[in-house]
A and B are shown apart, each in its own frame.
Chain A
Amino acid sequence: MKKILSLFGMGLMLGTAGVAQNIQFTEYDLKNGLHVILHEDHSTPIVAVTVLYHVGSKNEQIGRTGMAHFFEHLLFEGSDNIGRGEYAKYVENAGGGLNANTSQDRTFYYDLLPSNQLELGLWLESERMLHAKVEKEGIETQREVVKEEKRQRYDNQPYGNLFPETLKHAYKNHPYAWAPIGSLEDLNAAKDQDFVDFYHTYYVPNNAVLSIAGDFKPEDAKKLIEQYFGEIQKGKEIKRPTIVEPTNTGEVKDVIKVKDQLPLMVQAYHIPEQGSKEFYAIDMLNTLLSNGESSRLNKSVVNEKELALFCGAFTFNLEDPGLTLSYSVANMGVDIKELESAVNAEFDRLKNEPISDNEFQKLRNQIESDFITRNSSMAGIAESLANYHTYFGDTNLINTEINRYMAVTKEEMMAAAKKYYIPENRVTLYFEHDPSLLKQ
Chain B
Amino acid sequence: MKKYIIPILLLCLSTIQIWSQKVDRSKAPKAGPAPKIQIGSYQLFTLENGLKVIVVENHKLPTVSYSLQLEIDPIKEGEKAGSVSAAGELMTAGTTTRSKDEISNAIDFIGAQLSSGSDGIYASSLTKHSETILDLMSDVLLHPSYPEAEIEKSRKKTLSGLVSEKTDPNSISSKIGNMVKYGKNHPYGEMMTEETVNNYKREDLVNYYNTYFKPNVSYLIIVGDITIDKAKAQAQKYFGAWSQGAVPKMKFRAPKAPAGNEVVFVPVPGAVQSVIDITYAIDLVPATNDALHASVLNNILGGSGFQTRLMQNLREDKAYTYGAYSEITPDDYIGYFSAGASVRNEVTDSSVTELLYEMRKLTTEKVDDATLQIVKNIMTGQFARSLERPQTVARFAKNIEKYGLPKNFYETYLERLNAVTADDILKIAQRLLLPQNTYITIVGNKETLSKVVSFDADKKPLVYNPDGTLFVDMKPAPDGVTANTVLGSYIKACGGEEKLGKIKTMTQKGMIDAGMAQLDMQVDMASGKSLKMTLSMNGAPFMTQLFHDNKLTISQMGQKMEGDEQDILQAKIQCDPLAELHFDQFGLKASLKGIEKINGADAYNMEVIYPNGDITTDYYDVATGLKIKSITVKKDGEKSVTSETNYVEYMDVEGMKFAKKIKQSGGGQDATIITNSIEINPKFKKNHFE
Cβ of A437 within 8 Å of any chain B Cβ, yes or no, is yes
Q: Which of B35, B60, B446 contacts A114 (CB 8 A)?
A: B35
> Is A96 a contact of B381 with CB atoms below 8 Å?
yes
> Is A365 a contact of B109 with CB atoms below 8 Å?
yes
CB-CB under 8 A for A440 and B29, given A144-B319, A361-B109: no
Pick out which of these stretches binds chain A: B154-162, B226-234, B542-550: B154-162
CB contacts (< 8 Å) of A89 on chain B: these are 307, 374
CB contacts (< 8 Å) of A97 on chain B: these are 304-305, 381-382, 385
Cβ of B9 within 8 Å of any chain A Cβ, yes or no, is no
For the complex formed, measure the closest distance between the CB of B93 and the CB atoms of chain A, giving whole angstroms: 10
For the complex, what is the distance from the CA of A92 to the CA of B311, rounded to whole Å? 14
For the complex formed, measure the closest distance between the CB of A89 and the CB atoms of chain B, giving whole angstroms: 6
For the complex, what is the distance from the CA of A115 to the CA of B105, rounded to whole Å? 44
> Is A147 a contact of B344 with CB atoms below 8 Å?
yes
B interface secondary structure, majority: mixed
> Is B36 a contact of A45 with CB atoms below 8 Å?
yes
Cβ of B680 within 8 Å of any chain A Cβ, yes or no, is no
> Is B267 a contact of A158 with CB atoms below 8 Å?
no
Cβ of A438 within 8 Å of any chain B Cβ, yes or no, is yes
CB contacts (< 8 Å) of B167 on chain A: these are 158, 259-261, 438
Cβ of A238 within 8 Å of any chain B Cβ, yes or no, is no
Interface centre among A118, A292, A377, by most B CB within 10 Å?
A292
Query: Scoring B residues 149 to 179 as 1 if CB is less than 8 Å from chain A, else 0, what string do you get?
Result: 0000100110111011011111000000000
Cβ of A352 within 8 Å of any chain B Cβ, yes or no, is no
For the complex, what is the distance from the CA of A351 to the CA of B26, rounded to whole Å? 63
Query: Scoring B residues 329 to 356 as 1 if CB is less than 8 Å from chain A, else 0, what string do you get?
Result: 0000000000000111000000000000
CB contacts (< 8 Å) of B36 on chain A: these are 45
Instruction: Specify the chain A residue showing the minimal Cβ separation from B124.
Output: A373
Number of interface residues of B (CB under 8 A): 84
Instruction: Specify the chain B residue showing the minimal Cβ separation from A228.
Output: B23
CB-CB under 8 A for A127 and B25, given A309-B161, A361-B109, A365-B111: yes
Pick out which of these stretches binds chain A: B270-278, B424-432, B508-516, B665-673: B270-278
For the complex, what is the distance from the CA of A264 to the CA of B423, rounded to whole Å? 54
> Is B377 a contact of A95 with CB atoms below 8 Å?
yes
Instruction: Specify the chain A residue showing the minimal Cβ separation from B25.
Output: A81
> Is B35 a contact of A215 with CB atoms below 8 Å?
yes
Pick out which of these stretches binds chain B: A293-301, A317-325, A389-397: A293-301
For the complex, what is the distance from the CA of A221 to the CA of B591, rounded to whole Å? 77
CB-CB under 8 A for A116 and B33, given A44-B387, A151-B273, A309-B164: yes
For the complex, what is the distance from the CA of A235 to the CA of B668, rounded to whole Å? 80
CB contacts (< 8 Å) of B128 on chain A: these are 18
> Is A120 a contact of B31 with CB atoms below 8 Å?
yes
For the complex formed, measure the closest distance between the CB of B675 and the CB atoms of chain A, giving whole angstroms: 40
CB contacts (< 8 Å) of B125 on chain A: these are 369
> Is A156 a contact of B275 with CB atoms below 8 Å?
yes
Near A by CB (< 8 A), chain B positions 9-67 give 18, 21-23, 25-37, 60-63
> Is B272 a contact of A230 with CB atoms below 8 Å?
no
For the complex, what is the distance from the CA of A43 to the CA of B101, rounded to whole Å? 41
In the complex, how many residue pairs between chain A and chain B have their CB atoms under 8 Å apart? 231
> Is A329 a contact of B320 with CB atoms below 8 Å?
no
> Is A145 a contact of B61 with CB atoms below 8 Å?
no
CB contacts (< 8 Å) of A45 on chain B: these are 35-37, 384
> Is B29 a contact of A120 with CB atoms below 8 Å?
yes
> Is B160 a contact of A362 with CB atoms below 8 Å?
no
Cβ of B321 within 8 Å of any chain A Cβ, yes or no, is yes
> Is A231 a contact of B22 with CB atoms below 8 Å?
yes
Cβ of A409 within 8 Å of any chain B Cβ, yes or no, is no
For the complex, what is the distance from the CA of A118 to the CA of B34, rounded to whole Å? 12
Cβ of B306 within 8 Å of any chain A Cβ, yes or no, is yes
Interface centre among A88, A95, A157, by most B CB within 10 Å?
A95
CB contacts (< 8 Å) of A119 on chain B: these are 29-32
CB contacts (< 8 Å) of A251 on chain B: these are none
For the complex, what is the distance from the CA of A361 to the CA of B315, rounded to whole Å? 51
> Is A81 a contact of B27 with CB atoms below 8 Å?
yes
Instruction: Specify the chain A residue showing the minimal Cβ separation from B23.
Output: A227
Interface centre among A130, A140, A227, A358, by most B CB within 10 Å?
A227
Interface centre among A43, A90, A156, A370, by most B CB within 10 Å?
A156
> Is A95 a contact of B380 with CB atoms below 8 Å?
yes
Cβ of B378 within 8 Å of any chain A Cβ, yes or no, is yes
Cβ of B405 within 8 Å of any chain A Cβ, yes or no, is no
- A-binding residues in B (CB < 8 A): 18, 21-23, 25-37, 60-63, 92, 100-101, 104-105, 107-112, 125-126, 128, 153, 156-157, 159-161, 163-164, 166-170, 267, 269-273, 275, 304-307, 312, 315-316, 319-323, 342-344, 374, 377-378, 380-382, 384-385, 387-389, 445-447
For the complex of A and B, list the 3 residue pairs with the smallest distance between their C-beta atoms, beginning with the closest. Answer: A95-B381, A369-B111, A45-B35
Some 11 contacts from A to B, beta carbons below 8 A apart, are A76-B306, A95-B381, A95-B382, A145-B322, A158-B167, A293-B104, A303-B153, A309-B161, A331-B156, A366-B108, A376-B60
Known contacts A44-B385, A146-B322; 8 further A-B pairs (Cβ under 8 A): A92-B374, A114-B31, A120-B29, A148-B344, A156-B273, A261-B167, A362-B108, A362-B111
